[in-house]
Amino acid sequence: MKRPIILLAAWTLSIALLLTAITRQATRPRSVRAAEPPAGAAGTADDWPVYGHDPGGMRYSPLEDITRENVSQLKVAWTFHTGDISDGSADRGRSGFECTPILVDGTLYITTGFNRVIALDPQTGGQRWAYDPFVDLTSGYGDGLINRGVSTWVDPDRPAGKSCHRRVYEATLDARLIALDAATGKPCADFGEDGQVSLRDVPRYIGGWYHMTSPPAVIDGLVVVGSAIDDNGRAEMPSGVVRAFDARTGALRWKWDPIPPDTSGSSADKTVWQTGAANAWSVMAVDPQRHLVFVPTGSASPDYYGGLRPGDDKWADSVVALRSQTGEMAWGFQLVHHNLWDYDTASPPLLATIQHDGRQVPVVIQGNKTGFLYVLDRDTGKPVFPVEERPVPPSDVPGEVSSPTQPIPTAPPALVPQTLSAEDAWGLTPDDRDGCRATLQGLRNDGIFTPPSLQMSLCIPGNVGGMNWSGSAFDPERGLLVANTNNFPTKVRLIPGDQFDEARRTGEHGEYTRQSGTPYGMFRTPLLSPKLHLPCGPPPWGTLSAVDMAAGTIRWQVPLGTFSPVLPGKAAGTFSLGGPIVTASGLVFIAGTYDPYIRAFDIETGKELWKAKLPAAGHATPMTYRLNGKQYVVIAAGGHAKIEEAPLSDALVAFALP
């Protein structure tokens, strides 16, 4: 029986595919102007100037034109097609469209999966200019052909109207940082060499395995970049160093390594430490008043065996506050010690001020793939709600020394299930339920933080959730945080190196990776029923939650998305990649789901108020702005680079009231 799309979607999201070549004829960057630029976007506008609307990433818009009462009247105002799309045929890699546009000075700026930067008229969707860096697409990029957006900076020493008064920055798949004149799209010649800086000068750089997908952070005249590094290929991966460059010249100002080389002890001791990554591949947040950069870091390499990276692996899997002028660490908080589960800090940090114990407290709210939310004092990094170091199951894998404890917040509660017993197994039919129960009885299953084993372990949540790069949004008037989460339990097994080839040849369907340089290869696959291949964990498999940040409690939780071909009429929820935004009128806008819709929810109740079908799934975070008295909601609807059976598109869609 052919597996339904739900299986393929969840499974392919966990695979780092090497993409094949997409040939481009030209070898030099060029800028293309529209022959006749559309009419300028005159009038007032509420901008969306950075990825998360404000530097701290709250994703909160003060606009109130679209309300609970009229949101059902939203219609498509315009659609722009980038033309950058690849379906993976003819030895070509697949593209995605994960960009969140920014709006400044009456112009929308977007990026495509081919790293083209495009400026649009926000009223009509007409193109003003386009810049093509001609990224080397002959390399394979583990995340597919994607980019999530650009950043911008105004040069205070350059008068308005002069070239590069405002600059637009993009970090590319082939590891370049590019600065463009926001008015024309031409490279800023005084930045690096002809408008670009190479980001390849890092320890153990490997082309294609080291790339950029998120927009840079801009603060205090500096542009700060992290990197995306492929998972599980080997122990010694490229360094996850974070770097800051002068916004005008491109000169390197500082760098910070989350896991610097171990320089203590004898030379023999130094050779034990074999790792890399711990990279900041997600979106950073900044606090200009405190001159701090908040960096979310991922897993040290490789994900599932840590015998060559003993200890807690600080500062992997953390949120770290760096001083913007020097790169020195102000504080750090590690969310997962000695990570063995691919539990990256993938969710962007969110800076907010919450009511706590009768006072206003500036905080960093940090989600994790575990489903936990950590609320930390912004100045000190100390937990606002208590966090306890609790014992967790030890590893039984020879050579592995897992952390004896993990930091567990007492509030808010986890946003996803973290245990699944054989008795609680789910199946659409009795046979499938019995099959799931039998599978669970054969797994090592001690709840969250069950270490990978040689027999097979349950990993719950799996590696695509709870909270992934989708992140969260915060309503400061209501004190509510909104986040979308995934609930897909996963099976994980370590395979001795001398058995790996045979296991891959004869074993069950799933992802096999050698983890070169370690004694063990890795196998993982979603925990699915034997016949219908549906998740063994009960639905909903994707949720939207609202958390009362003053009380540290969940206000409401609803399924997000539907798998109508599989479970008709049931709100089962789907995995989602692409996060929410909130507006002052009490609306939550979100796409991100496997089904191709954008939706609006009532932030007070979680009731779905509106949805509109998109050309393809909108695996991106929307944005909103007002221009000439009209509020627009914009979403990139391109499908996903890793979901091979789902349709792709190149459409940027804007909605507005009639």
- Which tokens is 46 given? 């509420």
The whole-number average pLDDT for the span 435-439 is 97
Torsion angle defined by CA atoms of residues 53, 56, 59 and 65, in that order, rounded to the nearest 10 degrees: -60
Coil, helix or strand for 270? Answer: helix
Predicted confidence (pLDDT) per residue in 553-593, tens digit? 999 999 999 876 667 666 789 999 999 999 999 999 999 99
Cα–Cα dist 138/24, whole Å: 9
Amino acid residing at 191: F
340: pLDDT confidence band, cut at 50, 70 and 90? very high
pLDDT at 643: 81
- Least confident range from 173-177, 532-536, 641-645, 650-654: namely 641-645
- Least confident range from 25-39, 130-144, 458-472: namely 25-39
Best CA proximity match to 125, nearest among 519, 482, 655: 655
Residue 445 pLDDT greater than 60, yes or no: yes
Which DSSP category does 41 fall into? -
Which DSSP category does 49 fall into? -
Instruction: Go through the chain and tell me how many residues it has.
Output: 658
36: pLDDT confidence band, cut at 50, 70 and 90? very low
Cα–Cα dist 276/235, whole Å: 7
Cα–Cα dist 21/12, whole Å: 20
Torsion angle defined by CA atoms of residues 213, 559, 334 and 388, in that order, rounded to the nearest 10 degrees: 180
What's the CA angle centered on 1, arms 144 and 86, to 5 degrees?
Answer: 20
The whole-number average pLDDT for the span 347-354 is 98
**Mean predicted lDDT score pLDDT of the chain:** 90
Residue 383 neighbours by CB distance under 10 Å: 18
Domain ranges of the chain: 5-34+49-104+121-656
- Per the CB < 8 A criterion, the answer to whether 537 and 523 are in contact is no
Cα–Cα dist 618/99, whole Å: 10
pLDDT at 325: 97
DSSP per-residue string spanning 429-490: SHHHHHHHHHHHHTSB--STTPPPBSS-EEESS-TT-SS-TT-EEEETTTTEEEEEEE---E
Strand 630-637, strand 651-656: pairing = antiparallel
Q: How far is CA 263 from CA 238, 271, 328, 337, 343, in A?
A: 18, 10, 19, 21, 27
Catalytic residue among 342, 475, 595, 650: 342
pLDDT at 273: 60
- Which tokens is 180 given? 């463009």
Instruction: Mark residue 215 as left, alpha or beta (left: phi above 0; alpha: psi -120 to 50; beta: remaining).
Output: beta
Asked about 377 being catalytic, the answer comes back as no
Best CA proximity match to 243, nearest among 207, 210, 279: 279
pLDDT at 4: 37
From edge to edge, which strands make up the β-sheet containing 252-256?
A: 217-219, 222-225, 242-246, 252-256
Residue 166 neighbours by CB distance under 10 Å: 18
pLDDT at 88: 74
397: which residues sit within 8 A by CB, 6+ positions away?
305, 307, 451, 452, 453, 454, 494, 520
Cα–Cα dist 41/165, whole Å: 19
Predicted confidence (pLDDT) per residue in 621-654, tens digit? 999 999 999 999 999 999 998 887 789 999 999 9
- Per the CB < 8 A criterion, the answer to whether 581 and 598 are in contact is no
- Per the CB < 8 A criterion, the answer to whether 201 and 238 are in contact is no
Residue 521 pLDDT greater than 90, yes or no: yes
Overall pTM surpassing 0.85 (yes/no): yes
- Per the CB < 8 A criterion, the answer to whether 188 and 167 are in contact is yes
- Which tokens is 511 given? 């992802």
- Which tokens is 467 given? 């909270």
- Per the CB < 8 A criterion, the answer to whether 19 and 145 are in contact is yes
Residue listed under structure tokens 């799931």? 436
Coil, helix or strand for 286? Answer: strand
Which DSSP category does 62 fall into? -
Cα–Cα dist 524/490, whole Å: 7
- Which tokens is 461 given? 């949540």
Best CA proximity match to 600, nearest among 658, 657, 541, 540: 657
pLDDT at 90: 61
Share above pLDDT 90 across residues of the chain, in percent, rounded to a whole number: 83
Is 5-34+49-104+121-656 in CATH node 3.40.50.720? Answer: no
pLDDT at 434: 97
From edge to edge, which strands make up the β-sheet containing 166-171?
A: 151-154, 166-171, 176-181, 196-198
- Which tokens is 519 given? 């004694």
Cα–Cα dist 345/202, whole Å: 22
Radius of gyration of the chain (CA): 23
The secondary structure element, H or E, covering residue 503 is: helix 500-506
Residue 205 pLDDT greater than 50, yes or no: yes
b vs e for 574-593, b when ≥16 Cβ sit within 10 Å of the residue's Cβ? Answer: bbbbbbbbbbbbbbbbbbbb
Strand 75-81, strand 350-356: pairing = unpaired
